[in-house]
Structure 1
């Protein structure tokens, strides 16, 4: 899938999820007000948070796709992570905060109105709608994971496309939240004890808190400047080392400038008899090879460097030892390794 097609697919996924969440939020709110259920009102807050998140993710996709200019020569890809981070914060504050607080209040003093039927109907319809939205997100995850030759689970863990990751996690959390709300309502209905409804509300808040934390950490890592995966790093290194006039790749550094934009910079030791024309040709060939293999690579910078004593045959240096890198730093082009 071409870069433009992948971005369009992400926009469609976000729009579908946003429309579904908006409709569900209204239905849950009405049912929550009629029944007085803490779990239903928490689910309404959950859907409102998800709807706002989709709006912010849409902004992330649109603003991050703007072309480079003189003030931002590497483009606006990292701005998408800013908006995605704000979306995670909103889920943390508005969704999780309301659900946990309202659940505690319900356990302490709330009395249920006893109107359960509306809540059950809304939960059932919401489950169907959320399943449709999640199915679309799953299809995109599977397509992208095949493109990067990674398992869907690994793709989700390491992908640099945080909009797809956010939609998948939020829709998954929405389905789990609906099951929790249904269980809490059912137990309160059977026992007449509102404790279960309050506990369900708190569990929904904890679920939202977990999703928000995962997304916030992922976006912070990308904002700081994350490298490509170890697998992609090795393949880039092999391509550079395989150039006819190259003796060795001394240092290789990469950075994800956006969900579909990668920078490659390397110190390269060319043959001693290589002319300026040979080095220019090698640089052009390097860019052609790398962009053919990974169309997301937008910038390739090669810095000719002299041989270092005792350095023959060793691999390119990293900025820190591989064994010291945290697991979440092993992400790369599309996040996969």
Structure 2
């Protein structure tokens, strides 16, 4: 027995989702505007001063601009409603484009920065000129990056408070890669500015270009780390990660409390987009329930779950016998030796 319903995006649920989408859009647009101005300024400063660290920072900001364009595409395309060819919607497009953003950070930013660092340390680097220009650009970039980062932090704080999670757990469990990407790249940008400032300053003080090359290498390695963290996050979401364990356990308990349900035999969940969860529950119903009562019970349970858990997008309820050996073996293989009906997936 399967019961499905389609979310229309109206009412409180739709309003909340629209509000979160709008805030994510604002966060990305602020980051794009800041990084565009910063990239141009850093490039001019790098050409004027001959600093490898400044050129690496210019590549860093250019990569960030590409990242924001990918994120804007992710927000727009993932919001399309379900259709015949994609009955579960396009929510996972947000993960795909965010993964491309991580690749952009690596290819356009990290590799160029590493090349600049190696070239400066092993080649014939240019002497620094007009160093004051570099300092002014770095200071202006720090101000703009701070504005963008403040918006990202504000959104993260609001969402982690709503989810009642510590910051690190929220970042690990969040199913919205757009705001996480902006948060990571802006944090890396400020740290990269510190590296560039230190490299240019030490080069000016010592007269050795080695510090400029080291700063460029550090910027490249920082971007490699950011690209890896974002790539791993989006890979897990694309593969099909389960919902927040707290939601899984709450849905299980709600199902187990239904008068017609004797045992929750199996419970599968998967994120199909940001704040969108697919649920498949295999239930052993009371044998005294007839077909008509079973149908009405499934409709009622579906409605109750949607009202209590707004993130549930598609719900499938399947009657199964609790003692089916093949099903029991599959559940044990998935969740380990834990008791049937007590799913415990990764956090």
Contact 1:251/1:318 (CA < 8 Å) preserved in 2? Answer: no
- CA–CA separation in structure 2 for the residues paired with 1:307 and 1:255: 23
Q: Which residue in 1 is equivalent to 2:237? A: 222
Which whole-Å CA distance do the structure 1 matches of 2:42 and 2:337 have between them? 48
Deviation at 1:323, TM superposition (A): 8.6
Find the counterpart in structure 2 of residue 276 from structure 1.
Answer: 291
- Residues 223 and 309 of structure 1: CA distance in aligned 2, closer, same or farther (over 3 Å): closer
- Secondary structure in structure 2 of the residue aligned to 1:7: helix
2:222 corresponds to 1:207: yes
| Superposition deviation, residue 99 in structure 1 | 0.2
Shift of 1:319: 5.7
Residue 163 of structure 2 is matched in structure 1 by: 148
Counterparts in 2 of 1:55 and 1:228: CA distance versus 1, 3 Å = same
Match of 2:248 in 1: 233
Shift of 1:233: 1.2
Partner of residue 71 from structure 1, selected from 85, 88, 98: 85
CA RMSD of aligned residues (A): 1.9
Cα separation, 2, equivalents of 1:318 and 1:287: 26
TM-score (norm. length: structure 2): 0.89
SS at the partner of 1:267?
strand
Structure 1 pair 155–65 and aligned structure 2 pair: CA distance change class (3 A): same
Distance change (3 Å), C-alpha of 1:4 and 1:244: same
Q: Distance in 2 between matches of 1:307 and 1:82?
A: 38
In the other structure, the counterpart of 2:341 is: none
For structure 2, list consecutive stretches of 5 or more residues without a partner in the other structure: 1-14, 339-344
Correspondence list, 1:276-315, <5 A:
276-308=291-323
Cα distance, 1:153 vs. partner?
A: 2.0
SS of the residue corresponding to residue 268 of structure 1 reads strand
* Contact map agreement 1:173 1:208 (CA 8 A) in 2: yes
The residue aligned with 2:131 is 116
Deviations 1:63-88 (A, max 9, x none): 01100000110001111111111111
Q: Check whether the contact 2:48–2:129 (CA below 8 A) recurs between aligned residues.
A: no
Matches within 5 A, 1:9-28: 9-28=23-42
Paired residues for 1:66-145 under 5 Å: 66-108=80-122, 109-145=124-160
> What do residues 240-283 of structure 1 show as CA deviations (whole Å, max 9, x unaligned)?
11112111100100000011211000100111111223322322
Q: How far off its partner does 1:7 sit?
A: 1.1
Rounded Cα–Cα distance in structure 2 between residues aligned with 1:218 and 1:146: 21
State whether residues 56 and 83 of structure 1, in contact with CA within 8 Å, keep that contact through their aligned partners in structure 2: yes
Could you tell me which of 264, 267, 272 is aligned with 2:279? 264
Change (3 A) 1:99 1:309: closer
Find the counterpart in structure 2 of residue 8 from structure 1.
Answer: 22
Q: Is structure 2 residue 201 aligned with structure 1 residue 195?
A: no
Q: How much has 1:164 moved relative to structure 2? A: 0.8
Say if 1:299 and 1:187 are closer, same or farther in 2 by CA, change over 3 A.
same
TM-score, reference length from structure 1: 0.92
| SS of residue paired to 1:283 | helix
Match of 1:255 in 2: 270
Matches of 2:102 and 2:41, distance apart in 1: 23
Could you tell me which residue of structure 2 aligns to residue 335 of structure 1? none
**Residue of structure 1 aligned with 2:60, choices 46, 50, 67:** 46
1: distance between equivalents of 2:133 and 2:27? Answer: 29
Q: Distance in 2 between matches of 1:114 and 1:23?
A: 22
User: Would the aligned equivalents of 2:198 and 2:215 in 1 still touch at CA under 8 Å?
Assistant: yes
User: How far did residue 227 of structure 1 move?
Assistant: 0.6
Preserved CA contact (<8 Å) 1:123 1:182: yes
Following TM superposition, by how much is the alpha carbon of 1:318 offset from its aligned partner in structure 2, in angstroms? 6.3
Q: Distance in 2 between matches of 1:155 and 1:323?
A: 28
Distance 1:318 1:283, change over 3 A: farther
**1:272-314: CA deviations, max 9, x gaps?**
111223322322232233222321211000001123289xxx9
